Amino acid sequence: MCEANAYLLTDSGETLVMEAVDDVLPEKDGLKLVNIFGEQKFLRAAIHSLSLVDHKVFLKELDS
């Protein structure tokens, strides 16, 4: 299994936003996350970094 968990980085640390993410798709104003169960979530965020060994996607909120 190669799914990753997605975390939103904030001043207070990391917040898990979705488990078992299979797709990260660019959208006009952010990213659409889709997990292996078909659940979808849209975030006004950009990819900050990836930790492929740890299966983590780190996201940073976009400025308003």
**How would you list the strands of the sheet with 40-43, edge to edge?**
40-43, 30-35, 13-27, 4-10, 56-61, 45-51
Distance from C-alpha of 64 to C-alpha of 50, rounded to nearest angstrom: 23
Q: What is the domain count for the chain?
A: 1
Q: How far is CA 49 from CA 4, 15, 39, 60, in A?
A: 12, 14, 22, 9
Task: Give pLDDT tens digits for 4-62.
Answer: 999 999 999 999 999 999 999 999 999 999 999 999 999 999 999 999 999 999 999 99
Task: Look up the pTM and report it.
Answer: 0.92
